[in-house]
Chains A and B, each alone.
Chain A
Amino acid sequence: MTNSMNNVEFISNLVENSYKIVKKEVVDQYQVSFVVEKEDVHSLLSFLKTNGWKQLSYLSAIDWIDDNKFELVYIVFNWDKPVYIQIRTLIDRDNPVMNSILPVFPGCKYYEREAHEFFGIKFPGNPDFEKQLILENWDDMPPLRKDFDPRAYSDSKFAKREYTEDFVNLNGQKSKQKERELQKENIIKVRNGGKK
Chain B
Amino acid sequence: MLSTKFTVMTKEDVDRKWWEIGDFFRRNSLWMLMYCTGCCAIELPPAMTSAYDMERLGMGPMATPRQADILLVSGYLSLKTLRRLIYTYEQMSEPKYVVGLGSCTINGGIYHDSHAVINQLNQYIPVDVYVAGCMPNTEAVMNGFVDLMGLIKTKKANGWKDYHERNEWYKANQKFALGEVKIHDEFHE
Binding site for B on A (CB under 8 A): 131, 134-137, 139-140, 143, 148, 150-151, 153-154, 157-161
Contacts and interface: CB of A to CB of B under 8 A. Distances in A.
A151 B173 contact: no
A161 B106 contact: yes
Contact of A150 (B113, B119, B179, B184): B113
Contacts of A159: 119-120, 123, 173
B177 interface: yes
A139 B180 CA distance: 12
Decide if the interface of chain B is mainly helix, strand, loop or mixed: loop
B89 to A, nearest CB: 18
Interface in B73-91: 79-80, 83
Interface string B78-122: 011001000000000000000000000011100011111111100
Given A131-B186, A150-B113, A154-B112, A161 B180 contact: no
Interface of B: 79-80, 83, 106-108, 112-120, 123, 173, 176-180, 183-184, 186
Contacts, number: 55
B107 A160 contact: yes
Contacts of A150: 113-115
B111 to A, nearest CB: 9
A150 B115 CA distance: 5
B4 to A, nearest CB: 48
B83 to A, nearest CB: 7
A79 B17 CA distance: 70
A154 B115 contact: yes
Contacts of B108: 154, 158, 160-161
A17 to B, nearest CB: 44
B119 A137 contact: no
Given A134-B80, A154-B117, 17 more contacts: A131-B186, A135-B79, A136-B83, A136-B183, A136-B184, A137-B179, A137-B180, A140-B115, A143-B115, A150-B114, A151-B113, A154-B108, A154-B115, A157-B177, A158-B117, A159-B119, A161-B120
Given A136-B80, A136-B83, A150-B113, A160 B184 contact: no
B113 A135 contact: no
Contacts of B106: 161
A131 B185 CA distance: 11
A79 to B, nearest CB: 28
23 contacts: A134-B80, A136-B80, A136-B183, A137-B179, A139-B179, A140-B115, A143-B116, A150-B113, A150-B115, A154-B108, A154-B113, A154-B115, A157-B176, A158-B117, A158-B118, A158-B119, A159-B173, A160-B107, A160-B108, A160-B119, A161-B106, A161-B107, A161-B119
